[in-house]
Amino acid sequence: MNVVVGSMLSEDTKLYGVLNSRIDPIIAMATNPPVLAEKDGGLPATKTNLIGDKLKAEIMGIGTELLMGELTDTNSSWIAGRLPALGIELQWVSIIGDDLPKLTEAFKRGMERSDIVITTGGLGPTQDDLTREAIAPAFNETPTIQKEVVNDLERYFAARGGPMPQHNIKQANLIPSAHFVHNRNGTAPGWWAERDGTIIICMPGPPNENHSMWEEQVEPKLSELIEDEVTITRNIKTMGMSEGAVDEVISEFFGIENPYLGIYSKADGIHLRVIARAKDRETAQKLISPVEKAVHERLGEYIWGYDDDTPSQAAAQILIAKGLSVAVIEMCTGGALTNIITDVADSLTFFKGGTIAYDKAVYKFTVSRTT
């Protein structure tokens, strides 16, 4: 059986936002992490004593371009969505411009109220990249050039066929209380610094550099802070009911600390997120299971996906399961719908192809021949 889908989307249609939305920042749970043991290689084990204290975090997006609306701070929301699974409670998110006194003040304030301060941006080679310069006075320490990082930067540029610009030397600055975090996708190394019970983690602004640094180095390090506990999450995605209606159906599960249940209105429906914390994964799963079972019993027909599922993936699974195929006719979309379909794994098994038309005659001709 073949299915033909016609599509006429205006230029302003936020198609990718609808079909590929991501989890927003979630203020969820806290934990009592142990002191890390020393480990060889990579980032040094933290000396911060966090036993008996809730692990509170804040995120600082740094850059005047964020305050001016020239760029959107997507890094903060991306990081915020990953903190609950680590058992870290996010309490503040702020944006600070490229102003040295204000940045230094923000770091001092963060050290007073947070266990972890995570920053994005301000690590580049230009004069308005001031994250390093702001931490130094907040720590009352003097940065020095690290020759091994200069060598790394020189090799980075040499591999790309040119010498290192002298301005990039500032990226090799480091204070005694900090360690570099390697950046495999760019020239700006991150910082991991500790002072007076606070960990400051500085990462670059470009998302491809920021996300890889987080996933490969920062997140594994943070997970060690709560190595005596396990936090697991389950995202249940629904469509067809309003947020208020969903809330009413499962209201008795809200307000419980462990497992925590959150409800979020998204472009692709209403999402439910269950978070449980326990000494091991099996125990944490036992906390989640009754809530997930109740959600299934009451909302089963409205559930379309879980965790990182997207609507396009869910639609593809149905097409494959039913042995259906699909072709598309698009007008004034630039092939957006076709791109979404072909981004799905195994799309070759159900996608027959399509037409992208900008002239009504082509559109009508294609429709008449197809139908």
Topology classification of domain 230-306: Alpha-Beta Plaits (3.30.70)
pLDDT grade for 277, boundaries at 50, 70 and 90: confident
HSE (CB half, 13 Å, CA atoms) of 64?
A: 8
All CATH 3.40.980.10 domain ranges of the chain, comma separated, are: 23-224
The angle at the Cα of 293, spanning 290 to 295, to the nearest 5 degrees, equals: 110
Give the strand order in the sheet containing 325-331. Answer: 2-8, 325-331, 351-357
Position 34: which residue type?
A: P
Which of these CATH numbers, 3.40.720.10, 3.30.230.10, 1.10.10.10, 3.40.980.10, describes 23-224? 3.40.980.10
- The structure tokens listed for 345 are 């794994």
Residue 40, C-beta contacts closer than 8 angstroms, at least 6 positions apart: none
Which of these CATH numbers, 3.30.420.40, 3.10.350.10, 3.30.160.60, 3.90.950.20, describes 2-13+310-370? 3.90.950.20
All CATH 3.90.950.20 domain ranges of the chain, comma separated, are: 2-13+310-370
For 24-33, 220-229, 284-293, which range has the lowest pLDDT when averaged over its residues? 24-33
All CATH 3.30.70.2860 domain ranges of the chain, comma separated, are: 230-306
Q: Name 275's bridge partners.
A: 233, 260
Average pLDDT in the chain: 83
Residue 188, C-beta contacts closer than 8 angstroms, at least 6 positions apart: 123, 124, 125, 171, 204, 209
* pLDDT(53) > 70: no
Q: What's the confidence (pLDDT) of residue 15?
A: 28
139-163: pLDDT as tens digits? 999 999 999 889 989 999 999 999 9
167-178: pLDDT as tens digits? 999 999 999 999
* pLDDT(355) > 70: yes
